[in-house]
Amino acid sequence: MPAYNADLAKFEGYDAQVLGISIDSVHANSAWAKSLGGLDYPLLSDFWPHGAVAEKYGVLRSEGMAERAIFIVNKEGKVVYIDVHDISKQPDNEDLFEVLRQL
């Protein structure tokens, strides 16, 4: 189950999916999302096999940790946007909406 804020409707209606990927467990993701005041998009747990999706998305570090990143995947399944950011921050939703509007 993804960790997120109940306000996912903000991102509905676009021909794309905004999501985050973390190598942490679902419980750790939930706690982290809560510490940020919630997230407006799904945060997927790539816990097992450890980092397999993060590696395919190009954000798995050599020490086995994933970069904190947000992805936008279009309706054809192509990653059209990646935002890598500091662990304690998340990009402004307006930046994500701008990318979504351009699709």
Residue 1 is assigned to a structural domain of this protein:
no
- Banded pLDDT at 3 (limits 50, 70, 90): very low
**Three-state SS letters, 28-52:** HHHHHHHHCCCCCCCEEECCCCCCH
Q: How much is the average pLDDT of 39-54?
A: 90
Supply the CATH number for residue 58's domain: 3.40.30.10
52 confidence band (pLDDT: 50, 70, 90)? very high
Domain count within the chain: 1
Kindly give the pairing relationship between strand 68-74 and strand 79-85.
antiparallel
Of 93 and 78, the structure prediction assigns the larger pLDDT to 78
Tell me the mean pLDDT in the region 74-93: 86
Containing structural domain, residue 91:
8-102
**Span 4-29, mean pLDDT?**
79
Q: What local confidence, expressed as pLDDT, does residue 15 receive?
A: 86
**What is the average per-residue pLDDT within 15-44?**
88
13 in any annotated domain: yes
In a domain, 2, yes or no: no
Would 38 be classed as within a structural domain?
Answer: yes
